Amino acid sequence: MGLRTEWVLRWIDATSRALEDNKPLLTELDSVIGDGDHGENLARGFAAVDQKLSSLIVETPRQALRTTGVILLASVGGAAGPLYGTAFLRAAKAIPKDALELGPQDVAMMLVKAAEGIAERGGCQPGDKTMLDAWYPAATNAAAAVAKGAGAAEVLQIAAKAALSGADGTLSMSAAKGRASLLGERSIGHKDPGAISTAMILSAAATSAVG
Ligand code: ADP
Ligand code: MG
Ligand code: MG
């Protein structure tokens, strides 16, 4: 069975709760190699999205994802707002306009296009110690899982797992983009906050797809 609009709504709601719960952790990570606002920025942004979505009648997954991107662009400042906003707008665009249910291929394309959008908007590559280091393996592993016949929920689980190990992998990287790049090699030994928040967002996508 495919994933419907309600899945996107559950996903955003679960993300909003996860980011609120993990605000101290994200603040701590961003305090070490950034300016300490990542947790606050994101929790506020996704709460705004959650509120907006519950005030609208959203008919398709594409519409829900597009609204998410628009609100993130409008309400989250700093580096992460435009990057996450772009990711959700590109994910929306990856889905056929009137589709009511998303299959494994749609889900993988959402992640591939989101990762491409972040790479473009951020001017970053895998290995630069950014959120792309979570999005990129998520997208790549999702596409590989589709090729092996995985269902939509399974594709999301595989993507979430890849995002988490990608985020953990930023520990040993030297930051080449964003605020953390000011520290250069001194950023080694600390995880990238955006990669960790991406792992949380994609984990919420996966858990919202089952049960
Ligand atoms: P700011 O650094 O403006 O305070 P945030 O704290 O909200 O923004 O977000 C920081 C995160 O944004 C970083 O941990 C990193 O994952 C991501 N980021 C920053 N610059 C870039 C970039 N050029 N490309 C991709 N991701 C980036
Ligand atoms: Mg910051
Ligand atoms: Mg900032």
Taking the model in full, what pTM does it have? 0.98
Residue 96, number of CB atoms within 10 A of its CB = 12
How many whole angstroms from 34 Cα to the centroid of ligand 3? 7
- pLDDT (tens digit, 9 = 90+) per residue, 158-180? 999 999 999 999 999 999 999 99
* Distance in angstroms (rounded) separating the CA atoms of residues 60 and 106: 13
Residue 97 identity (one-letter amino acid): K
Q: How many domains does the chain have?
A: 1
Tokens at residue 179, please? 């605020």
Among the bound ligands, the one closest to the CA of 36: 2
* Chain mean pLDDT for the chain: 97
- pLDDT band at 77; cut points 50, 70, 90: confident
ipTM above 0.95, yes or no: yes
The CATH number covering residue 32 comes to 1.25.40.340
* Distance in angstroms (rounded) separating the CA atoms of residues 102 and 79: 30
User: What is the mean pLDDT of the segment spanning 130-147?
Assistant: 98
User: What is the mean pLDDT of the segment spanning 34-57?
Assistant: 96
Can you tell me which atom of ligand 1 is nearest the CA of 121? 24
* Distance in angstroms (rounded) separating the CA atoms of residues 6 and 109: 19
Does position 211 have pLDDT exceeding 70, yes or no? no
Atom 4 of ligand 1: nearest residue by CA position: 78
How many whole angstroms from 79 Cα to the centroid of ligand 1? 4
Range of the domain at 108: 5-207
* Inter-residue contact 132 to 80 (CB < 8 Å): no
